[in-house]
Every structure is written in structure tokens, then in C-alpha cells.
Amino acid sequence: MKIERIEVFGVAVPLIGEYKNAYRSKTVQKSALVRITESGGATGLGNIDPSPGYSKESIEDSLRVLETGLAPLVVGMDPANIHRVLQKIEPAVEGYLDAKAAIEMACVDLTARVCGVAVHTYLGGAVKDTLLFNAWIGILPPDEAAAETVAWQRRGFRSAKIKVGGNIEADRDRVKAVREAVGPDFRLRIDANAGYDADTSIRLARMVAPYGLQLFEQPVPEDDIAGMARVRREAAGIPIMADESVLDHASLIRIIEARAADLVKVKVMKQGGFINTRRMIATAEAAGIRCVVGHGFGLGINTMAEIMLAATSHNVIDGLECVGPLKTSDDIVTHKLDLGAGSIALPAGPGLGVALDAAKLDRYRFEARDTHG
């Protein structure tokens, strides 16, 4: 096979309501879509969903780099040879792991489709037949947070993440209300999105320790690995998970060497594609560190990529966080993923098992503003 054509699109899909975390609020998800066509006519899809304040590059810059910097490099290459594709695009521009992941994802989807297998089969085979998902609770008043979590519990969810930030007393009250509402068996996580320093995070951890948390995600700024290690030592036994601090393999090694985390969160988009993410999961496993997979605002293509990747490793814990389809009012695929019961059977493919809806692509498409010209 040879890559004959690469198309890059920007899409803006409305969210269901407004979502707020420690960075900002938003009501729309702006994403990038890559469609690769090979010489025989087969196609593959890649999709990335950057979040302002969290992603390293803006959606506009990612689209520009995809269109002008990366896509032209791989035309004529074999999409099945992912190693060669990565060898070409990784040194071409510094950073932009999201954009590189979109190309790699489309190549993997295309190759698996041509082979007639699901991506999880192409990646070596699934070890899970059912995938469980983690609900998300925003920075809400205690009674609202409790009611929302109970609603997810009644739908079938077995775990939820509660956003924290701004005031640790309010955080404690929110966590307390949720725990009292859902009972002792429902798993709870908290996520500070790097919004607190080490001292504040330690105080918060000790305040919420009685409520039996599964993990405390990214308690400190992403570059404060020593501070995160200190939180881990003094957090009253609550497992600490690194997220914003995890970017490439080198950052993972720094976390391992500092004994800064009990878990790490990885994303196909953020880590630069399937291969890089799988390698990092394997490294974490060798160090005795479990993994969480997923990001919260993905469209159907990227969400399916993370589902299929997660199914291939026992080191990925239940409670995937790729729950974007729960937050978007629509999608650009023909059948929007239904995660509303908190679990799905492993999709069968072929490829990523989703098809692009041309009408919806036209409806939500936007032209990125060139911020460099």
C-alpha cells in the first residue's frame, strides 16, 4: 500500500451544557480529523481533541502543522509500516504529539481495516471483553455533585471522578456529600488538574482520606515532580496519579525515578499514538505502576482508539476516562457511541469500528485561523 491522499479537517461539536475544570469552562469541543486514503482506495481515520489550558498546542496550530508540516511528508509511504511513518514525522517538528498521533491513528485504522481485523486485534489482542467507564463530576456545590453522582450510579456506573480546585474546604464538602450519597462500594477519584501546590494538596488529602478515595489525580503543577513525590509520601495513604506531568517516555521515567506516583494516566492523542502509548504502559507496568486510559472530551474516533488500546492491557485499570461521547451533543461518526450505562462490550471493528458521517462533517466543520501568517 501507499498513502495517496491525506485530508485534514477542523470540526467544532457542541457539548451538552457547560463544563468547568481548574483551567476554564467550555461549551464546544474543537477537534481535528485526519482521513488517509491509500492507493487501493481504502481509508483510515484519525482524530484528536485538544483542550485549551491542558493541551500543549492549540487546535489551530495543530491543524496548521498537520496540513503544512506533517501530511505532505507521508504521502507515498506505506501506512502499514508505522515505524517508518513515525521515523519520518517525529523529528519533523518539535512537540505536536497530538498532531503526530492523528496521522499514526489513521494509518493504524487503515491497515487494520485492510486486514479485516479490529485495532485491538492488530495491536496483539484484547484481554478484556467488557470495558467499564468512569463518570465525571464538575466543580459543583455538594448537593448538586451528590445528586449527579447518584444519577450516574443508577445508570450503571461503578466509579466517578470529582473535580477539585480553588478551595479545599469546598472540595472536602463536595467529596463528603458524594460519598454519603453513593455508599462505600462506589469508587471515587479526585482531580486537581495541577491546581494546587504540594502543601495544599497534602492538607486536602488528609481532609478527604476518611472518604476512601481510589486516587488523587495531578495534585501539583506538572513540572513539580518533587512536590508530587512529597504528596505521595504524606497523602494519608491515598494513591497519587500523574496526568499533566506525563507527556513522553522521558517524563514517565522521571516520575518513576522520583517515586512520585502510584498510577499514571495516558492518552493515545497526548502520547503521540498507539505505539508510544503502549510502550509507556509497558514501562509503567515494569515499574509496578498501574495506568488509567482516556481523556474527557474525545469524539467517537479518538474515543474508540482509547477503548481498543485499553482492552489490550491488564495494567489498565477499570474506569476508563474516555467518556467524551457522554458530553457531546452529537458526533462526526454515523453512530454515536452510547456509554450511558457505564460499560460496553468490546467493539469488533474492523479497524476502529466507526465510519465518518459526511453530512455531520460538513455541519460542524470550521476553517482554522492561521495564527502564523
Q: Could you list the active site residues?
A: 163, 267
Q: What are the grid coordinates assigned to 332, written together?
A: 462526526
Instruction: Please state, in angstroms and as integers, the Cα–Cα distance from residue 269 to each residue in 244, 273, 276, 298, following that order.
Output: 13, 6, 10, 10
Decide: 291 and 265 in contact? Cβ < 8 Å.
Answer: yes
Q: How many angstroms separate the CA atoms of 266 and 284, rounded?
A: 10
Q: How many angstroms separate the CA atoms of 61 and 57, rounded?
A: 6
CB atoms within 10 A of CB 345: 8
Pairing state between β 159-163 and 135-137: parallel
Q: How many angstroms separate the CA atoms of 141 and 124, rounded?
A: 45
Decide: 47 and 32 in contact? Cβ < 8 Å.
Answer: yes
- Cis before 14? omega within 30: no
Question: Residue 54 has what DSSP assignment?
Answer: T
